[in-house]
Structure 1
């Protein structure tokens, strides 16, 4: 008997206008027929896979292991990244810059003394491309940012005139993680160089969080070099900071050398005599005639 006019042809019969149709009148949007009239979901479950266990590799891209449920192993969480060694060193170098710039700023607090004649301006302090026989490579000029306070205070003191600040950092072989050298100084016309040098040492020691571990020692070389060892507390860590300074009629500067091997060194073990000789060499390489 032919089918009733009200009944559509059997869904699998050729010529059906509905293609592959459910016997319950619903077409599966997922391309396969559900035996119960509901589409069989093929989209991934909420955890990256089908909600039904899958066996074997699945086509269509990289495979993910099936979700293990609450009783399975938790996902592996990578450890937090280690702190940057460069960031640590640069933070310490920044503390050294503040320390020795503070020593120069303290010049403005020098008391009154009978005026004497200012020397002629013959030499200037520079930041060469390298220092200590090319051992340290120039890194950054901080004269503009940190030098303004030096110039303002020094020009208001009784024994400094026509002051220009010079502040720069150097890295050991171009690598900040191996070592750093900081130069903080000025050039101009200075009276009583000995007093300037002593106040540079005193000013650095008066910075907050800083204590004097080894008092100032003077080394009589071509000029007098004064050195000391300070200890600074940076975020709960004690940092050993040896520094040396010189001052003459035209130039004055403090030198500090910082590296990972010395920043935790016992202050009493610091070789200040060797640092004084390096400071004298920095002076000879950084001073240039004016003109």
Structure 2
């Protein structure tokens, strides 16, 4: 019996050694030649030290405060924009990513705002949305602070200016995406009328294109945060492994979380209408955590790359 246990232990140790050697010799595209083992080891140390759940909670709280003023501003602005079905397009985008109960909660408020022009709400919503949104972006930048040599220190005003700039970039990206979707819908309708394809076939084609565009929107948004958010000495590439990971993880997490809430969650039954707010907060917290994990992947690659370059410089002296 003891010999069998010893054999199993030896096989396990041998397997672990082979896997370690494999990961020490293997790198992936975008990893700057850094082995997976080094990235993983550094990543685990950073995760333990940085307390990511606490940082993600701070980020999600600030963005929760920004959501409702942002919705007031955006959808109060819609009646003044001469674009057909603009509110329907934006609601559809929210419906794609939010859990069902969270979307229903927001859509009731949105429909009331869109139906009537309210000039006073426009300025009020803009001020609050801009303030809380920049606070949320500033919290992301604070969460991206590191003590490693590749990072700079931003003072209060530099960080505030950087958060305002990034917030404006993200808002312009969102509005450009909405306009592209509207233009794309008109193009698709014209192609459908001229192609003669059946409605079922066209439905699948349209959904594939819509999901592809949604994934690209997620990717560009997250990559923009990773590009402009950290105070790095040398700007990293726009397309990064952490950006790819965070994009697909955020979409999968949102779909999985929405499925759980819609089928197994009992927040509304237990907490009433406030349960929807809890769901929204959890969804924001989950996505903030994914965003931080993606950043830690990029950070692990960048720091290891700098350390390796310094070792080569010392060896060459």
Q: What's the TM-score once normalised by structure 1's chain length?
A: 0.29
Higher RCO (Cα < 8 Å, 6 or more apart): 2
Which is helix-richer, 1 or 2? Answer: 2
Q: What's the TM-score once normalised by structure 2's chain length?
A: 0.27
**Higher gyration radius (CA):** 1
